[in-house]
Homo-oligomer: A and B are copies of this chain.
């Protein structure tokens, strides 16, 4: 075990040189080392006052008038446009609302419908009746994909992301849609979105990406890489608050063909026309369903203000994220006895998200003791300690402390 003061001293220097260090002051934090922002982002300090205004003035005083006067009605698209640059999308393609699970359902069913309509355009090939789903996906995507497959008459094939190109080469003519996670929730592995999207397109299928563990932590480049559809949550690296609504990206040129399985009145071309016939609106609004959840939406909108701070950008966040995870891996290697933990997060930057996952015996019990000692990560069954690094408010001293406390905890 090397001398802690060495790494602690290095942490101090890294924090002093960190151009994002000042942003930490925008969040409510205490002496806990919070490495669970990949589960629930910390509270931006200005959000409570904004929520109070929404409740007391917009709801309490303006009441129904707020649907227009406080911009409630257009919030799903307006806030979508705030998220868009963070995932590399031009305006008009992201809409906020519903949970990630519900958005996965919308996106996958719509993708299958587009793929099957393409075939019907005289392609002459076999019917596209298979959905490929990331075999290591966060479970809800798999459950929802199974339902989408069942309800569209498709089969569902779980495939490891690395195997997707091979499976597509073998049987891609049957593939309608491919649902992948940008970053694996358990291991923190970053999948190759540009290459996988290109492989899906070569096969003539549609790529649906789940950005829950990447948006706000690293560049996504939805437009640049020609992604078809994407979904993500907003309560991790976007700090939107517990259960804040998810978002749906539909690439602009696909919007006229986006045929939602949940065509609620909010997606109608004329929602207050109260027409019995459904006619979808134009643009991202097609992804809306029912009445938007205003308190949570507007808390999220406030939280996104942090991204307007000087020096805050996805590029800056990514650079710091890699420095933080690199430093954590170094500290763990230095402090923790050999063989006690094993990183399942890739060492290569190109394959790493913004978390480090350590396989460990008794991981559940170890995490419990870490939390008692003020280092908050989380446990993912069956054997992973998960530490998330939100560059907006995690510093290098946090990283060094977490590794130090982990070593002490593992030592008994």
- A-to-B contact residues, CB < 8 Å: 28, 30, 34, 36, 39-40, 42-43, 47-48, 51-52, 55-56, 58-61, 63-64, 66-67, 72, 98-102, 105, 109, 135, 137-140, 142-144, 146-147, 151-152, 158, 186, 233, 235, 241-246, 260-266, 268, 272-276, 278, 289-297, 299, 376, 378, 380-381
Contacts and interface: CB of A to CB of B under 8 A. Distances in A.
B63 A42 contact: yes
Pick the 5 closest A-B CB pairs, nearest first.
Answer: A99-B290, A101-B264, A101-B290, A242-B294, A140-B265
A261 B64 contact: no
Given A142-B276, A143-B264, 17 more contacts: A36-B63, A43-B55, A48-B55, A58-B242, A72-B243, A99-B291, A101-B264, A101-B290, A102-B290, A137-B276, A151-B261, A243-B297, A246-B290, A293-B293, A294-B296, A295-B295, A295-B299
Contacts of A151: 109, 151-152, 261
A266 B284 CA distance: 27
Contacts of A98: 98-99, 102, 290
A381 B272 contact: yes
A5 B135 CA distance: 75
Copies of this chain in its oligomeric complex? 2
B143 A291 contact: no
Contacts of A235: 291
Contacts of A72: 242-243
Nearest to A299: B295
A278 B278 CA distance: 33
Contacts of A51: 51-52, 55, 295
Nearest to A51: B55
Nearest to A379: B272
Contacts of A245: 293
Contact of A48 (B56, B135, B137, B289): B56
A378 B64 contact: yes
Contacts of A242: 58-59, 66-67, 72, 291, 293-295
Contacts of A152: 151
A193 B56 CA distance: 37
A149 to B, nearest CB: 12
B36 A59 contact: no
B48 A64 contact: no
11 contacts: A36-B64, A52-B52, A64-B378, A101-B264, A109-B151, A140-B264, A143-B268, A151-B152, A245-B293, A293-B296, A295-B295
A263 B143 contact: yes
A31 to B, nearest CB: 12
Contact of A294 (B28, B109, B142, B241): B241
A140 B290 contact: yes
A262 B294 contact: no
Nearest to A59: B43
Nearest to A371: B65
A98 to B, nearest CB: 7
A274 B139 contact: yes
Given A242-B72, A274-B139, A293-B296, A144 B264 contact: yes
